[in-house]
Amino acid sequence: MSLPTKGRQALIAGLVAGGLALSACSAGSLGTSSTAASGGAAGVTITYLVDNSDQAVKPAQSLVDAFNATNSGVTVKLETRAQGTDGDNVVKTKLATGDMAEVFAYNSGSLMAALDPAKNLVPLTNESFMSNVQDAFKSSVTSGSDVYGVPMGGATGGGILYNKKVFAQLGLSVPKTWDEFMANNAKIKAAGIDPVIQTYGDTWTSQLFVLADFANVTSAQPDWAEKYTAGQAKYVDQPALTSFERLEEVHKAGYMNKDFASAKNSQGLQKLVKGTGAQYPMLTFVIGAYSAMSDTAKDDIGFFAQPGDDAAQNKLTSWSPGGVYIPTTATGDKLEGAKKFLAFIASTAGCDAQTKGLTPSGPYMVKGCTLPAGLPAAVNDLQKYYTDGNLSPALEFLSPIKGPNLEKITVEVGSGITSAADGAKRYDEDVKKQAQQLGLPGW
Amino acid sequence: MSSTTSSRDGSRVSLAKPPRASAEHVDATYPLWFHIPAGVIYIVLFIVPTIFSFYFAFTRWTLFKSTFIGFDNFVLFFSEPGLIGSLRNTLVYGFITSAAKVVLGMLLAVVLSAPIIARGYLRSVTFFPVLVSAVGVGITFQVLLDPFNGIVNKLISSVTGADGPGWLTDPDIALLSVAGIDVWKGLGLATLIYIAGIAAIPNEYFEAARVDGANSWQMFRHIILPLSFPATSTVIILSLIGGLRSFDLIWTTTQGGPGFASDVIASVIYKQYQAGFYGLSTAGNVILFVVVTAIIYPLSRWLNSKETVL
């Protein structure tokens, strides 16, 4: 995804892919059936490549087992690869050398665009199973006029996690506008609690104020992403500059925790759970991580989208799950087999198989799929934005350009090393390099 | 120890007067085919990629294709404030670590060459950090130097009552902190080279000086300092090269941060490669090569010309 750095990307990729996998606990019970289940047909064997994080492997395994148990003729074998930058390189190298597995999981959005899909991936635009996939996801695996993948795992929201107990104690309500948010912060600070948790020890976490503000940018200017891709809209200009200014504003007001420069993501979550910090701009894939930190964390922590200028326009910035793709090197029977497997992934049976392994941290993007009951409060808060259709995809799913240095720049702005305007200018230069590398017109 | 180094120093000295005779001697001893396997490996794995990298520095390339863009990568590299900052950081880092290693290494070596108690043990202790992997050192110091939970700042705040500095998180001192860690880690090697250099000084000089009534300072100033010059030049060259291309320590402690405050050329190159800016990072490598060569080559020539034969 994009979020952050590649390491994080891998992690997140894994998690997103893993979202799928949430059902892992029962994977073992299904695990032995893979070869025995093909019902006697001679069949083909295809390989499914995922990254080696637990969150990716567990759901993938239960998916593979469920598929092998129900379909005759095609047997899927699971294979794993490294995560992170190494994983990115493995995928790119395998594609370049024609050595790729018949089916593989990888990020959607700008990272997928970097795989040169027109050359390396099999278009799925006309496959019948694509009608099960939500349009919001399709846009994040589309390159040119073709759609290339099906979703693996649940969607992730970017916004602000907050401690409900602190809010209740201080009599605060969930802010719908930035002014309300800052007014809340003043009260929280007066109560001796850190209003906003920042954790620049894990640099990728510094980007959230900018990335999760994107829904507000599109509200202000609906065609911003298009113009940005064409090199016409810049971060130094409004409305996008506001995203950087908000980060600067929070720092200048002294609303951050004292150890923001060195704290890590897990320490930030701990502060949130303990209530020494009230709000943490984050992606919802961390829900599983903080839920494990205390018995009540699951119910104590809520979620809201990053507030903008207009309460009526308050929308969620949403990250699509990773995709599952077929490389052009898969042909004949293997291609048919791979398509059958993708059809299974894009079905309610596929979602259910994933849910068995791992608790989903966000809604599936396959039509008709549902989430189990008893999920953490933040997942329900998140779900509400999807049910209401109150969301915008994150920028990286609307544009192939994501400058790699954003997290460094947001650390600088968030630490007061540079101003919002200078940071935005620097990021524009970073983005330019990425656009040139991708060979986009207009740069 | 001293015998190995004196031969080492000997060969350095002989570089000043090119050893023609020994080169011919080697040619005569080994037939051509004896050189071929090593030569092929060297050409295929080093020379060819080096030549390719010079070409690719002028292109924007991916794993799938490349476009020739002339000097654009270099123009971009030099027009960006972040990249120029990294060049400056590289030089600061290289010269600070090199100078500190020369001065401290010399002092430690003088102490450890004197007849003191537990000399062998102390020498080993000094050398020990060199043996630890840079990544391990980096991660350890990241923990030790944590601004609030690290042992260093806990000590400082328990003595002074105030919060200690953010060693690795304050943009003004992060680079210097890493340079300090580098000196701690690399000092042992500098000391070892100096110990060998001092041990190689013939005893007659000291005896003669003593007869003339020289005190310890005079012996240090007029015997050890000039006659251990081969060791000094070795330490300068090695630590400067190491400092200019330093990456592992910086990456494991600050990742070039906070922001870009401790970025050096090598970490910038790494990040660009990671980001997929292959052409730009190749150009960065060429620049690093040129910078290191432009500094080291004349310096090495100059240092060699100053060496005296013992």
pLDDT beyond 70 at B196? yes
Q: What is the pLDDT of residue A5?
A: 43
The arithmetic mean of pLDDT across residues A184-200, rounded, is: 92
The arithmetic mean of pLDDT across residues B157-164, rounded, is: 84
Of the candidates B258, B277, B280, the beta carbon closest to that of A411 is on B258
The arithmetic mean of pLDDT across residues B222-251, rounded, is: 90
Of the candidates A116, A258, A417, the beta carbon closest to that of B64 is on A116
Q: Do A437 and B274 touch (CB under 8 A)?
A: no
Is B47 within a domain?
A: no
pLDDT beyond 80 at B92? yes
pLDDT beyond 60 at B9? no
pLDDT range class, residue A113, cuts 50, 70, 90: confident
Is A390 within a domain?
A: no
Rounded CA separation B55/B282 (Å): 9
Is B234 within a domain?
A: yes
The closest alpha carbon to A339, from A33, A4, A10, A46, belongs to: A46
Is B240 within a domain?
A: yes
pLDDT range class, residue A28, cuts 50, 70, 90: very low
Q: What percent of chain B has pLDDT over 90?
A: 35
pLDDT beyond 60 at A79? yes
| CA–CA–CA angle A243, A249, A250 (5° rounding) | 100
The arithmetic mean of pLDDT across residues B236-247, rounded, is: 89
The arithmetic mean of pLDDT across residues B240-248, rounded, is: 88
Q: Do B277 and A433 touch (CB under 8 A)?
A: yes
More confident residue, B17 or B46: B46
The arithmetic mean of pLDDT across residues B181-193, rounded, is: 94
pLDDT range class, residue B23, cuts 50, 70, 90: low
Q: What is the pLDDT of residue B198?
A: 92
pLDDT range class, residue B7, cuts 50, 70, 90: very low
Rounded CA separation A63/B44 (Å): 46
Q: What percent of chain A has pLDDT over 70?
A: 90
Show the DSSP H helices in A22-83 as ranges: 27-30, 54-70
Is A313 within a domain?
A: yes
Q: How many domains, in total, are found in chain A? A: 2
Q: Which residues contact A108 (CB under 8 A, 6 or more apart)?
A: A1, A137, A140, A141, A149, A151, A320, A321, A322, A323, A397
The arithmetic mean of pLDDT across residues B225-233, rounded, is: 90
Write out the residue range of the structural domain in which residue A63 sits. Answer: 6-154+321-371
Q: What percent of chain A has pLDDT over 90?
A: 43
Q: Show the tokens assigned to B40.
A: 């092929």
Q: What is the pLDDT of residue A13?
A: 43
Beta strands in A13-138 (DSSP E): 44-51, 74-81, 103-106
Is B30 within a domain?
A: no
Rounded CA separation B74/B282 (Å): 10
The arithmetic mean of pLDDT across residues A1-26, rounded, is: 41
| Distances B212 to A219, A306, B219 between C-alpha atoms, Å | 89, 82, 11
Set of chain B residues whose Cβ sits within 8 Å of the Cβ of A93: 63
A226 and A115 inside one domain: no
Residues making up chain A, counted from first to last:
443
More confident residue, A71 or A140: A140
Q: What is the pLDDT of residue B310?
A: 52
Is B54 within a domain?
A: no
Bridging pattern class, strands A277-283 and A156-163: antiparallel
The arithmetic mean of pLDDT across residues A55-60, rounded, is: 85
Is A387 within a domain?
A: no
The arithmetic mean of pLDDT across residues A348-358, rounded, is: 87
Rounded CA separation A304/A208 (Å): 13
CB atoms < 10 A from the CB of B262, how many?
27
Q: What is the pLDDT of residue A16?
A: 40
A153, A18 in Cβ contact below 8 A?
yes
Show the DSSP H helices in A306-419 as ranges: 332-345, 348-357, 377-387, 395-398, 406-414
The domain that contains A411 carries what CATH number?
A: 3.40.190.10
A227 and A344 inside one domain: no
Residues making up chain B, counted from first to last:
310
Set of chain B residues whose Cβ sits within 8 Å of the Cβ of A412: 258-260
Rounded CA separation A178/A15 (Å): 30
pLDDT beyond 50 at A62? yes
The arithmetic mean of pLDDT across residues A355-384, rounded, is: 85
Q: What is the pLDDT of residue B273?
A: 83
Half-sphere exposure of A266 (CA within 13 A, CB side): 4
What phi, psi does B283 have (nearest 5°)? -60, -40
Is B146 within a domain?
A: yes
Is A384 within a domain?
A: no
Q: Which residues of B191-202 are buried (b: 16+ CB within 10 A; e: fewer)?
A: bbbbbbbbbbbe
The arithmetic mean of pLDDT across residues A195-208, rounded, is: 91
Rounded CA separation B180/B226 (Å): 27
The arithmetic mean of pLDDT across residues B168-182, rounded, is: 91
The arithmetic mean of pLDDT across residues B55-78, rounded, is: 82
| Distances A123 to A105, A325, B186 between C-alpha atoms, Å | 15, 9, 55
pLDDT beyond 70 at B6? no
Q: Which residues contact A80 (CB under 8 A, 6 or more apart)?
A: A49, A50, A51, A52, A56, A57
A231 and A200 inside one domain: yes
pLDDT beyond 70 at A384? yes
B262-293 pLDDT, tens digit per residue, is 899 888 888 888 887 888 888 888 988 888 88
Q: What is the pLDDT of residue B22?
A: 52
Of the candidates B62, B147, B276, the beta carbon closest to that of A259 is on B147
Q: What is the pLDDT of residue B278?
A: 86
Q: What is the pLDDT of residue B72?
A: 85
A270 and A341 inside one domain: no
Instruction: Indicate the residue type of A126.
Output: N
pLDDT range class, residue A20, cuts 50, 70, 90: very low
Half-sphere exposure of A109 (CA within 13 A, CB side): 24
CA dihedral A87, A88, A91, A95 (to 10 degrees): -160
Write out the residue range of the structural domain in which residue B193 sits. Answer: 2-19+64-306
A119 and A182 inside one domain: no
Q: Cα A288 from chain centroid?
A: 14
pLDDT range class, residue B309, cuts 50, 70, 90: low
- For residue A163, give the H/E element and its range: strand A156-163
B284 to chain A, any CB pair closer than 8 A? The answer is no
A126 and A202 inside one domain: no
Is B259 within a domain?
A: yes
A124, A103 in Cβ contact below 8 A?
no
Q: How many domains, in total, are found in chain B? A: 1
A311 and A326 inside one domain: no
The closest alpha carbon to A338, from A326, A328, A349, belongs to: A326
| Distances B229 to A190, B146, B203 between C-alpha atoms, Å | 64, 39, 16
ipTM beyond cut 0.85: no
Place of tokens 């941060």: B257
pLDDT range class, residue B8, cuts 50, 70, 90: very low
A298-352 pLDDT, tens digit per residue, is 889 999 999 998 888 889 999 989 999 999 999 888 999 999 999 999 999 999 9
Place of tokens 């230069």: A429
Q: What is the pTM of this model?
A: 0.77
Rounded CA separation B308/B310 (Å): 6
Q: Do B148 and A258 touch (CB under 8 A)?
A: yes
Set of chain A residues whose Cβ sits within 8 Å of the Cβ of B261: 417
Q: What is the pLDDT of residue A11?
A: 42
| CA–CA–CA angle B292, B298, B301 (5° rounding) | 125
Place of tokens 């340079």: B179
Is A67 within a domain?
A: yes
A101 and A11 inside one domain: yes
- For residue B68, give the H/E element and its range: strand B66-68
Set of chain A residues whose Cβ sits within 8 Å of the Cβ of B81: 426
A361 and A426 inside one domain: no
Q: Which residues of A332-368 are buried (b: 16+ CB within 10 A; e: fewer)?
A: eebbebbbbbbbbbbbeebbbbbbbbbbbbbbbbbee
pLDDT range class, residue B26, cuts 50, 70, 90: low
Q: What is the pLDDT of residue A139?
A: 83
Q: What is the pLDDT of residue B189?
A: 93
Instruction: Indicate the residue type of A350.
Output: G
Interhelix angle for A178-190 vs A241-252, to 10°?
A: 10
Q: What is the pLDDT of residue A376?
A: 87
Q: Do B260 and A408 touch (CB under 8 A)?
A: yes
A408 and A338 inside one domain: no
Place of tokens 């605060």: A172
Chain A nearest CA to B149, separation (Å): 10
Set of chain A residues whose Cβ sits within 8 Å of the Cβ of B60: 436-437, 439
Set of chain A residues whose Cβ sits within 8 Å of the Cβ of B257: 200, 203, 408, 411
| Distances A259 to A254, A264, B149, B151 between C-alpha atoms, Å | 12, 10, 10, 15
Q: What is the pLDDT of residue B109?
A: 93
Rounded CA separation B160/B257 (Å): 27
A279, A196 in Cβ contact below 8 A?
yes
Rounded CA separation B199/B6 (Å): 8
The closest alpha carbon to A261, from B222, B172, B128, belongs to: B172
Q: What is the pLDDT of residue A389?
A: 81
Interhelix angle for B278-306 vs B81-113, to 10°?
A: 40
Q: Show the tokens assigned to B166.
A: 């953010």
Q: Is A350 helix (H, G, I), strand (E, B) or coil?
A: helix
Q: What is the pLDDT of residue A358?
A: 80
| CA–CA–CA angle A307, A311, A314 (5° rounding) | 50
More confident residue, A170 or B5: A170
Q: Is B294 helix (H, G, I), strand (E, B) or coil?
A: helix
Q: Do A261 and B280 touch (CB under 8 A)?
A: no
The arithmetic mean of pLDDT across residues A347-376, rounded, is: 86
Of the candidates A92, A259, A408, the beta carbon closest to that of B63 is on A92
Is A378 within a domain?
A: no
The domain that contains B275 carries what CATH number?
A: 1.10.3720.10
B104-126 pLDDT, tens digit per residue, is 999 999 999 888 888 889 999 99
A115 and A234 inside one domain: no
Q: Do A436 and B146 touch (CB under 8 A)?
A: no
Minimum Cα–Cα distance from B66: chain A residue = A437
A233 and A98 inside one domain: no
Q: Which residues contact A112 (CB under 8 A, 6 or more apart)?
A: A106, A140, A141, A143, A148, A149, A323, A325
